[in-house]
Structure 1
Amino acid sequence: MLKGRAAPGSSAASVQGFQALTLWGNHLRQTIELTLRLTMRDFEARYRGSVLGLGWAFLTPLLTALIFTFVFSSVFRARWGTGQDGTDANFTLVLLVGVLTHAMLAETLSRAAGLILAHSSYVKKVVFPLGILPIVVVLGAMITAAFGFLIVLLGHLVYSGHIEATAPLFILIIIPYLLLLLATAYVLSALGVYLRDIGQIVAFIITASMFLTPIFYPISSVPPAFRAVMLLNPLTTVVEESRNVLLFGRAPDWQALAFLWLGALVSFPAAVWVFNRLRVGFADVL
């Protein structure tokens, strides 16, 4: 055999491997395009026919924060401080960060519970990847919240005259949060097919999580005995660290952030596995 000449078998294997890789790449591209198309169609459908249209994406979180600000700062006399110089922080922006973070959770939970039931016609379509539906829900919640977080940045710029140098670190907080939301969406959407009571349970969880997370009050005001328990809530970490990097100019708590990432990286593949195991019986139940 001449040196440098590849064996026929290895050449055929290389061609087959390249073809398989190409097919996988095309499938991935088509899935991403379908996911983005469904996400944009879902987002546009929310404001289709309304007078203000996309303006509601800005107006809704702002009005919500203003109402809560009046109730909790004027009526209940809640006060916030930066923890640095004792001055008052802009309560509306502080509150808005918490409201937006919880809104992402609320939208994901409320829609995921009946997601497969609402798209039952897709279940028996072999070519339709059901796994993208939870992704569409979470992406929709993220896009809506993005408008609100833009208001936070612009408001802080007007209020303080600058954007905090720590603001880019927000990406390290939002990514694991999105993975946790995706994990929740996968599990709830699958369980919702078999357990129709999931919707009622989710409604209670949404309300409870709003008051058991430091959204309307600082974590420092919680008694130490309860604070330790509250810190086990991933939403607490997301809210607190988002405020730190976006409004207070503080670096995040790296230990808390590491636990958040660990929980996300463990929960997400486990949730996908659960979804794939349960989806086998979707057609029989529906």
Structure 2
Amino acid sequence: MIQGLRKLPKRVGLGIFYVMAFILALLLIMHTNQLADPHTEMLKKICGCILIGISCILVFFWYDRLLVLPVELFHSRKLIKRLSLNDFKKRYAGSYMGIVWALAQPVVTVAMYYIVFDRIFQSRAQSVSGGIEVPYVLFLTAGLVPWFFFTEALTNGTTSLLEYNYLVKKVLFKISILPIIKIIAAMFIHVFFICVLLVIACVYGYYPNVYWIQLIYYVGCEFILVLSISYATCAIVVFFRDLLQIINIGLQLFQWFTPILWNINIVPDKYKWIIKLNPMAYIVEGYRNAIYGDTWFFEHFYSSTYFWLFVVGVFCVGTLIFKRSKPHFADVL
């Protein structure tokens, strides 16, 4: 599909994109929520239309450049798979227990939170939509699972060019696959962590249902989000090494702006839109809705629309930064 899009004439490709953008904008304008504040709804529609317009402008001027990276990743898919497995295995090479250490970390983390919050502090259940109360351990774990993946994948993706600097200097090697290799390697632990989350849900009486399928969607959302950010950060950190330290500090602060340890329902309705500007809030709440919320992602129309518009914008910017900086990587490294 990606390769076929690359072969389409620019006029046809732009036409397809603009038709899709027009349909999305039309749905955004026509969608109404009778229970929401009219002024807030109007603000959401205006912001959504502005983001769609910005995306159309970016695609018009940089259509050819924006397709280069997806095409390279598609052609290198087999190499990406092989290198991702090797990257994951080499982390624990030389240790006696090997990959077991990767699987032990999430189990120990969940056990620690269970002992501290459930047994020692006996934290009260968290109320979610519909007045349902969820055990705090399950509520907390459902927020930590996507957050741990985001922090590890972003950190590893940012340092991918520095770690594989010997490959960057090879003329024929497609260095655009390096960030995605590190993110896929982090995905292996994340999948096991999700399994732990599902076991905890069953322990507390939340058994498998059709809504759990949404986890695949939210995992894909987070993967594309962190990949889009990583293309910008991995390119910048080559020239500005202090960026890694800034990211580490920023993640610590960013965690408190994301509803992981606290419930988004404690925020007054008129200020919730500020929290929802954080794309990770969409992911975290999505994991929780999939496990025990019994709601589909398309029921949150505005949040889903905003998230994907944000991701498209970040991917466009990250791709342009990466491609513009690429010729100078070998000289700096």
Q: Following superposition of structure 1 onto structure 2, how do residues 86-165 of structure 1 map, counting pairs within 5 Å?
A: 86-87=132-133, 89-160=134-205, 162-165=207-210
Q: Secondary structure at the match of 2:84?
A: helix
Aligned equivalents of 1:211 and 1:142: distance in 2? 23
Residue aligning to 2:289: 244
Change (3 A) 1:96 1:201: same
SS at match of 2:244: helix
Alpha-carbon separation, structure 2, partners of 1:152 and 1:94: 10
- d(CA) in 2 for partners of 1:248, 1:145: 21
In 2, Cα distance between the equivalents of 1:243 and 1:116?
34
Offset, 1:262: 2.1
Equivalent residue runs for 1:187-226 within 5 Å = 187-224=232-269, 226=271
Residue 81 of structure 1 is matched in structure 2 by 127
Letter in 1 for 2:125: R
Most deviating of 49-58 and 95-104? 49-58
Give distance in 2, aligned partners of 1:134 and 1:237: 23
Bigger CA radius of gyration: 1
Q: CA deviation at 1:43?
A: 0.9
Structure 2 residue 76 is the aligned partner of structure 1 residue 38: no
Q: Is the 8 A contact 1:35 1:135 kept in 2?
A: yes
Going from structure 1 to structure 2, the CA distance change for 1:52 and 1:35 (only over 3 Å counts) comes to: same
CA RMSD of aligned residues (A): 2.4
Q: How many residues align?
A: 259
Q: Does 137-146 or 149-158 show the bigger shift?
A: 149-158
Instruction: Tell me: CA distance 1:123–1:57, structure 2 relative to 1, closer, same or farther (3 Å).
Output: closer
Residue 213 of structure 2 corresponds to residue 168 of structure 1? yes
Q: Is the 8 A contact 2:125 2:135 kept in 1?
A: no
Gap regions ≥5 residues in structure 1: 1-26
Q: Which residue of 2 aligns with 1:20?
A: none
Q: Deviations over 1:101-147 (max 9, x none)?
A: 11122112322333212222112211111000110111122221111
**What residue is the counterpart of 1:263 in the other structure?**
310
> SS state of the match for residue 128, structure 1?
coil
Deviation at 1:65, TM superposition (A): 2.7
Q: Please name the residue that 2:330 is paired with.
A: 283
Q: Which residue, 73, 84, 103 being the options, matches 1:58? A: 103
After the TM superposition, which of the residue ranges 123-132 and 41-50 deviates more from structure 2? 41-50
Deviation string 1:195-253 (CA, Å, 9 cap, x unpaired) is 11101101111111222211111111234465332111000110001110123322232
CA distance in 2, matches of 1:197, 1:262: 29
The change in CA–CA distance for 1:39 and 1:242 in structure 2 (over 3 A counts) is: same
TM-score, L = length of structure 1: 0.81
Paired with 1:70 and 1:157, the residues of 2 have a C-alpha distance of 18
Task: Decide whether the 8 Å contact of 1:61 with 1:96 is kept in 2.
Answer: no
How far apart are the structure 1 equivalents of 2:74 and 2:128? 46
In the alignment, the residues of structure 2 paired with residue 207 and residue 76 of structure 1 have an alpha-carbon distance, to the nearest angstrom, of 25
- The one-letter code of the counterpart of 2:186 is A
Q: For the Cα contact (< 8 Å) 1:106–1:206, is it kept in 2?
A: yes
Q: Which runs of 4+ in 1 moved over 6 A?
A: 27-30
Using the size of structure 2 for normalisation, the TM-score is 0.71
Question: Residues 242 and 217 from structure 1, CA distance in 2 versus in 1: closer, same or farther, beyond 3 angstroms?
Answer: same
Gaps of 5+ in 2: 1-71
Contact 1:72–1:216 (Cα < 8 Å) also in 2: no
Measured at CA, do residues 71 and 157 of structure 1 come closer, stay the same or move farther in structure 2, by a change above 3 Å? closer
Identity of aligned residues (%): 27
> Which residue of the partner structure matches residue 273 of structure 1?
320
3-state secondary structure, aligned to 1:50: coil
Q: Is the 8 A contact 1:179 1:265 kept in 2?
A: no
Residue 177 of structure 1, CA deviation: 1.9
